[in-house]
């Protein structure tokens, strides 16, 4: 059980993304930290981040954290988006006193798991082409064949799935065609976008039965767990009061209202507030 120095303060974690991808991180970390208060910000006005410039993403994410900090004392911020993480994480960590955790492609883990020496990295175009991703490959997987596949279509499909739509496997096979046509396709595939983790079942159905899919969500959850444990000495369930989990978004739309209902029904969130950025 985790302990916190201030028995009267329930810790607060902000998870942010342009859409629902960060929910895959939320699900993983909530299993380890069920008594923490969670704020989830989906920046629907700027969805998806992968289609914006690095300058825009850095300023946007900085502005979101600052806006939420005006209303809440944050104990931890998780950038629940691979694209935003590879672009802005180091800058954010230098800018804010609050601990900032990002999500990076699990290339190091893939290099330990591959058996045929072929690793696939499935992410947005910005993530697969970013210097940070290429540096991870050079550092941890330079002895292996690494196949990069960039797609933004899977981001939209993950959003559709959360809204209850069935995802045709044929669409996924079309996206994965470059790998499916290989004589020796990747046996270990890195899901380098948090949205893609929400499509894991469908991706497994579309890929070879010999392919193993990995992502960073459990590593992020465990690292976040360790960060909060630095302030230990009173039980996580011994607070003066519990505050409900809350959703924020940047634009009021019909789709956002529907998502609010889904997050309330299935993800333990209780209110939605529009926060203009």
- State the architecture of 107-215 in CATH terms: 3-Layer(aba) Sandwich (3.40)
> Does 43 sit behind a cis peptide bond, omega within 30 degrees of 0 on the bond before it?
no
- Write down the pLDDT at residue 109: 96
- Write down the pLDDT at residue 234: 40
Q: Per the annotation, does 83 bind a ligand?
A: yes
Q: Per the annotation, does 152 bind a ligand?
A: no
- Write down the pLDDT at residue 238: 54
Q: Which of 2-11, 13-22, 221-230, 240-249 has the lowest mean pLDDT?
A: 2-11
Which pLDDT band holds residue 4 (cuts at 50, 70, 90)?
very low
Phi, psi of 118 (to 5 degrees): -115, 120
* Contact present, 203 and 8 (Cβ < 8 Å): no
Q: Per the annotation, does 62 bind a ligand?
A: no
DSSP 3-state percent helix, strand, coil across the chain (nearest 5): 45, 15, 40
Tell me the catalytic residues: 81, 193
| CATH, range 12-103+218-274 | 3.40.50.1860
Q: Where are the domains positioned within the chain?
A: 12-103+218-274, 107-215
Q: Per the annotation, does 6 bind a ligand?
A: no
Is the model's pTM score more than 0.85?
Answer: yes
- Write down the pLDDT at residue 209: 73
Using the 8-state DSSP alphabet, how is residue 12 labeled?
Answer: E
Q: Are domains 12-103+218-274 and 107-215 of this chain identical in fold?
A: yes
């Amino acid at each position: 059980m985790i302990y916190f120095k201030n028995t009267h303060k329930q810790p607060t974690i902000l998870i942010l993304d342009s859409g629902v991808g960060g929910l895959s991180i939320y699900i993983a970390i909530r299993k380890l930290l069920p008594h923490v208060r969670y704020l989830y910000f989906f920046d629907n006005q700027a969805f998806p981040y992968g289609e914006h410039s690095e300058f825009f993403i850095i300023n946007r994410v900085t502005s979101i954290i600052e806006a939420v900090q005006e209303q809440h004392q944050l104990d931890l911020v998780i950038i629940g988006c691979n694209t935003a993480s590879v672009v802005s994480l180091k800058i954010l960590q230098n800018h804010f006193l609050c601990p900032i955790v990002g999500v990076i492609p699990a290339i190091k883990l893939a290099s330990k798991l591959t058996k045929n020496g072929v690793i696939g990295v499935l992410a947005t175009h910005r993530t697969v082409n970013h210097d940070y991703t290429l540096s991870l490959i050079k550092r941890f997987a330079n002895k292996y064949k690494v196949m990069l596949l960039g797609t933004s279509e899977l981001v939209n499909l993950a959003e559709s799935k959360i809204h209850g739509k069935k995802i045709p496997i044929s669409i996924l096979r079309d996206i994965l065609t470059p790998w499916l046509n290989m004589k020796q396709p990747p046996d270990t595939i890195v899901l380098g976008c948090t949205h893609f983790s929400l499509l894991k079942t469908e991706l497994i159905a579309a890929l070879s039965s010999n392919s193993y899919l990995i992502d960073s969500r459990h590593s992020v959850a465990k690292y976040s767990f360790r960060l909060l444990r630095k302030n230990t000495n009173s039980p996580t369930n011994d607070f003066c009061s519990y505050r409900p989990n809350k959703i924020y978004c940047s634009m009021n739309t019909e789709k956002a209202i529907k998502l609010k209902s889904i997050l309330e029904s299935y993800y333990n969130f209780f209110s939605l507030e529009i926060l203009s950025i």
